[in-house]
């Protein structure tokens, strides 16, 4: 799939309903709920800019996989000109909401593009992690995935140190690893855009400050927002 339209984004949310609760009530359709629908429409308008004939060259680039136009925020910059071009694209999206949408999709796209550009770093632990990162970047780019993230474990106090929140009964913790992947248990605080995203990226913050035991809370994966539970 090349760069999505706004309607394709909305249709995706309708076809893959997720469990969202507001004020104690289950939200049946995030695209129609009064508290969420304008956010959905705002994101959809950003995607439509990718198909505006007057903006297409500024908003997209040719996929290295298919040659189809894909969102420019997925570009891995290799030159100063690449950086300028991507900055100008992101500026257009920011101005579309006058900067009021602080978690537009380009935020996460740029993060994963940076990681894909430095994929060799992830191979330091296990060689297959490099290819995992490259594969995932290709997946979100080619499908124009809307990502949010969950970084922070629940707080026990307002001024905690990095290990104060890492208790197995609360913090998201890897409890075992199988051939199919890791099994985790616990909680993370969901970031902005969570109810109207396609997937949730889970990755650690300040893990370099943790001891070996706390490394059980250090992992990265992504999960679709409509995953049961």
HEC string for 146-191:
CEEEEEECCCCCCCCCCCCCCCCCCECEEEEEECCEEEEECECEEC
pLDDT tier, 105 (very low <50, low <70, confident <90, very high otherwise): very high
- pLDDT band at 62, cuts 50/70/90? very high
**Do 168 and 186 touch, CB atoms closer than 8 A?**
yes
What percentage of the chain's residues is helix, strand, coil (to nearest 5)? 40, 15, 45
Which structure tokens are listed for 127? 């060689």
Region 78-86: what's the mean pLDDT?
97
Residue 172 falls inside a structural domain: yes
CA-atom Rg of the chain in angstroms: 19
For residue 125, give the CATH number of its domain. 1.10.3140.10
Parent domain of 182: 6-224
Residue with the two structure tokens 């994963």 = 112
Partners of 60 in the beta sheet?
71
pLDDT score of 180: 87
- Segment (H or E) for 131: helix 128-143
Please write the tens of the pLDDT for every residue from 131-168. Answer: 999 999 999 999 999 999 998 877 666 665 554 555 65
Percentage, residues of the chain above pLDDT 90: 69
| pLDDT of the residue at 142 | 97
Global pTM?
0.89
- Looking at the predicted structure, is the pLDDT value of residue 199 above 80? yes
Model confidence at 49: pLDDT above 90? yes
* Residue 1 resides in a domain: no
First to last CA, the chain: 28
Within 13 Å and on the Cβ side, how many CA atoms surround 173?
A: 14
**Into how many domains does the chain fold?**
1
Q: How many CA atoms lie within 13 A of 102 on its CB side?
A: 2
pLDDT of residue 207: 65
């Amino acid at each position: 799939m090349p760069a999505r339209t706004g309607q394709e984004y909305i249709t995706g949310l309708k076809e893959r309903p997720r469990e969202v609760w507001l004020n104690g009530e289950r939200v049946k359709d995030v695209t129609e709920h009064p508290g969420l629908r304008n956010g959905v429409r705002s994101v959809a308008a950003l995607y439509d800019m990718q198909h505006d004939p007057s903006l297409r060259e500024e908003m997209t680039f040719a996929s290295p996989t298919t040659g189809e136009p894909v969102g420019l925020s997925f570009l891995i910059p290799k030159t100063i000109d690449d950086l300028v071009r991507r900055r100008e694209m992101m500026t257009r999206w920011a101005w579309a909401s006058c900067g009021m949408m602080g978690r537009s999709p380009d935020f996460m796209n740029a993060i994963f593009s940076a990681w894909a550009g430095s994929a060799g770093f992830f191979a330091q632990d296990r060689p297959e992690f490099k290819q995992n990162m490259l594969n995932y970047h290709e997946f979100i780019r080619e499908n124009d995935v809307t990502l949010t993230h969950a970084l922070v474990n629940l707080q026990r106090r307002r001024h905690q140190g990095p290990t104060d929140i890492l208790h197995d009964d609360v913090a998201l913790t890897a409890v075992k690893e199988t051939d199919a992947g890791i099994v985790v248990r616990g909680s993370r605080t969901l970031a902005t855009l969570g109810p109207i995203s396609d997937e949730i990226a889970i990755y650690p913050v300040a893990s370099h400050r943790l001891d070996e035991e706390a490394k059980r809370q250090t992992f990265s994966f992504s999960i679709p927002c409509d995953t049961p539970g």
